[in-house]
Amino acid sequence: MEDTELAIRVSKNYNYRFIDEPLVRVTRNHNQLTENAKNYIAAKEILYKKHKNYLSTELLFEICKEIANYYILIGNIAIAKNYLKKSFSHGMNVKTLLQYISITLAPSLLKYLYHKKYSKGIPHPNKEGEFIPQNK
């Protein structure tokens, strides 16, 4: 996440290009941000607040949805609902609209369904098939 934030700040002042090959080898530390769901979502919230005027609407929509999903999972319905509302200003799809209606009309049911869906944790953003353990 720190690398993403740095890349955004650099891109505001300098031109750069994407190189589709690895240039460095990185050793991962298991205490890194992406290994802890609570810290990962906190970093997403900072990214959203700091750079919402710079990022694409598609990316902002996805960030809001990811944050909302986490808060539904841990039972903080008010914050989840707030991020779902924010996502509508960046895009709209039927699934998100249904999610918002569900969180408004039947938050307990939605929370139950999320606990069943994410019983292993939140899907890891970079490792397909792996999960970030929930840290409430």
Query: Under a CB-based contact definition with an 8 Å cutoff, are residues 44 and 86 in contact?
Result: no
Query: Under a CB-based contact definition with an 8 Å cutoff, are residues 75 and 111 in contact?
Result: yes
Instruction: Tell whether the model's pLDDT for residue 24 goes beyond 90.
Output: no
pLDDT in tens, 66-78: 899 888 888 889 9
Of 74, 79, 75, 59, nearest in space to 125 by CA: 59
Per cent of the chain over pLDDT 90 is 20
| Range 26-49 average pLDDT | 73
